[in-house]
Amino acid sequence: MNSSDFSSLNLSRELLNNLDSLGYKEMTAIQSLSLPVILANKDLIGQGKTGSGKTAAFGLGLINKMDLNSFKPQSLVICPTRELAEQVAEEIRRLARVINNVKVITLCGGAPIGPQIGSLRHRTHVIVGTPGRIEEHLRKGTLDLDNINTLVLDEADRMLDMGFLESIEKIVSNTPIERQTLLFSATFPEEINTIAGSVMNRPIKVKSESMHEEKTIKQFFYETNSHDDRMTALRILLSKYKLESVLVFCNTKSDTKDVANELRYHGHYALAIHGDLDQRDRDQSLIRFTNKSASVLVATDVAARGLDIDSLDMVINYNVAHNPEVHIHRIGRTGRAGRVGIACTLYSDKEKYKIETLSSIVDNEELPDTLPSDNYLAKPANKPAMTTIKIDGGKKQKLRPGDIVGGITANGSIDGDKIGKIHVTNNWSYVAVSSDLAKDVLRKIKSDKLKGKAFRARILS
C-alpha cells in the first residue's frame, strides 16, 4: 500500500469513498505529514503554502472524531478573513457530505449577526469564523465553546499580521484545556512560537516543501527607479502577455487603489481589494476575478489571503515583498498543477538589498532582466472572455444555480457552454457568461422568469 494513499489512514470507508469521488487520489505533502499526527489526536504545527491541501487535512481530522449526537459545537476553526472562512466551511461540508446531518456554520463579520445567533440555537458540529465575530458572540453569550475538542488556527501568520493575537487569546481561554489544537501557517515568523507556546501542548511540527517545482515558475526581475517607470513596466508586462488572470501585489492599500485606478485609466480590466472596501464590494471584486470577467486583481498580501484560484497565469510584485518567505508565498500562487507560471518583480535601486535576500531562490544571476519593448503599450488591453451579471435573488429566494442555467438556456436560444461560474449568496446571485452574449442574457433574465419569478439583474462593470 502506498504511504501517500488515503486508504493507509484510519478513516472510515464512507470518508475514503467520498475522497475518491471528490478526486482526492493521493495525499499531498502536507496531508501525508500532518494527517497521521492529527488522527492520533496530537497537537500540530503545520507549515505549508496556499493550495497545499491543509484544509482537507484538518477537515478530515475533525470529521473523523465527530459525535453526531452532540448538540454543541465540537470543532472551532479560526481564519483571518471572511473569504477564507467561507472556503474552509465549504470544503468541510464537501468532505462530510456522506455523513447525515453534519452542520457547519460560519461566524464572520460583514454579515448580519441575527441569523448567526439563530443558527447557534440549533445543533451545530463545526464553527468556522473570524476572530472579531467569534469574540463578539462570546461577549453576547450566544456562543458556547465548552465542548470544543478540536481548535484550528488557520493562516496564523496572517492573523498575527492583522493584529488578532489578543482576540485569539480571549477565544482560546473560553475553550476546554483538554483539547486538540492545530496551527497552520504559510510563513513562520517568531511570533508563531509565542502563540504556540501559550495555546498548545507539546505540538509536533511538520513542514512541507512548496508544491510548485521551480521549473514551473519563470521569474523575472525588472529595475524601475521612479513611480512612472514602475507603472509603465507594469503596463508593458500586462500588454505583452495578455493573460486571463494576473494578480498584482502591492505593500500598502494606498498603492493598491492607485495602481488599480491607473490601470483602468489605461483601459485594463483591473479591480482592487483593500481594507477600505465594504464586504459586498470586496465579494463582488473577488467573484468577477475568479470567474474570469476581470483579468487583473491588485491586492495587498493580507487582502489576497484566502483567494481560491485554480489557474492563476501570472503574479506581478509591484512592490518587493518584505521578506523571502512572503515572496515565495506570492509567486507560489502561479505555476500550479504542472502548469508553467510567470512571476515578475519590479524593484528600485534602493530595494536591491531585498532582491539580494532572494538569491537562494532566484536562478538568474544576471539581474536585472531586460524589460520588453514599450511598443507593447500600443496594443489594446486584454478584454475578458466572460462578463458577470448580478441577479437580485439568492438562497433566501430559493434560487439555485440550476434554476439560473435553466432560465438562461430555456428555448435553446443560448447554449449552456456560454455560461461560466455561478455564485449564489443569501440575497444575490452572480453568473459569468460569454462577453459577446452578455446583453442577450441580461435581456432574457429580465424578460423571462427564473423558477417562475421575475428578478432584477444588471451587468457588473
The whole-chain average pLDDT of the chain stands at 86
Set out the domains of the chain in order of their start, with CATH numbers.
6-207 (3.40.50.300), 214-378 (3.40.50.300), 386-459 (3.30.70.330)
**pLDDT at position 341:** 84
* Cell 452532540 belongs to residue: 70
By the 8 A CB rule, do 407 and 451 touch?
A: yes
Q: What is the CA radius of gyration of the chain?
A: 23
**pLDDT at position 236:** 96
**pLDDT at position 451:** 81
Higher pLDDT, 370 or 277: 370
Which DSSP letter does residue 363 get?
Answer: -
Looking only at the bridges linking them, the beta strands covering 419-424 and 429-434 are antiparallel
CA 202 to chain centre: 30
Q: Which three cell numbers stand for residue 277?
A: 472596501
Query: Which of 155, 205, 207, 200 minimizes the C-alpha distance to 180?
Result: 200
Distances (CA, A) of 173 to 65, 166, 378, 444: 23, 11, 59, 54
By the 8 A CB rule, do 262 and 231 touch?
A: yes
Higher pLDDT, 135 or 164: 135
Query: Which of 192, 213, 218 minimizes the C-alpha distance to 203?
Result: 192
Query: Which of 344, 286, 335, 336 minimizes the C-alpha distance to 315?
Result: 344
Q: What is the mean pLDDT of residues 100-119?
A: 90
Residue 42: exposure state from Cβ atoms within 10 A (0-12, 13-18, ≥19) = middle
CA distance 442 to 250: 35
Q: Which three cell numbers stand for residue 54?
A: 491543509
Q: What is the mean pLDDT of residues 117-139?
A: 93
Distances (CA, A) of 64 to 75, 184, 201, 319, 406: 11, 19, 21, 43, 38
Binned at pLDDT 50, 70 and 90, residue 51 comes out as low
Distances (CA, A) of 312 to 158, 187, 206, 339: 21, 21, 27, 10
DSSP letters, 243-286, are: -S-EEEE-SSHHHHHHHHHHHHHTT--EEEE-TTS-HHHHHHHH
CA distance 166 to 54: 25
pLDDT value at 106 more than 90: yes
By the 8 A CB rule, do 394 and 429 touch?
A: yes
Q: Which three cell numbers stand for residue 158?
A: 496572517
* Cell 507593447 belongs to residue: 376
**pLDDT at position 211:** 45
CA distance 54 to 39: 14
pLDDT value at 217 more than 90: no
Digit-coded pLDDT (tens) for 66-99: 988 887 899 999 998 888 888 899 999 999 988 8
In the chain, the amino acid numbered 307 is L
Please provide the distance, in angstroms rounded to a whole number, between the alpha carbons at the two ends of the chain: 52
By the 8 A CB rule, do 56 and 186 touch?
A: no
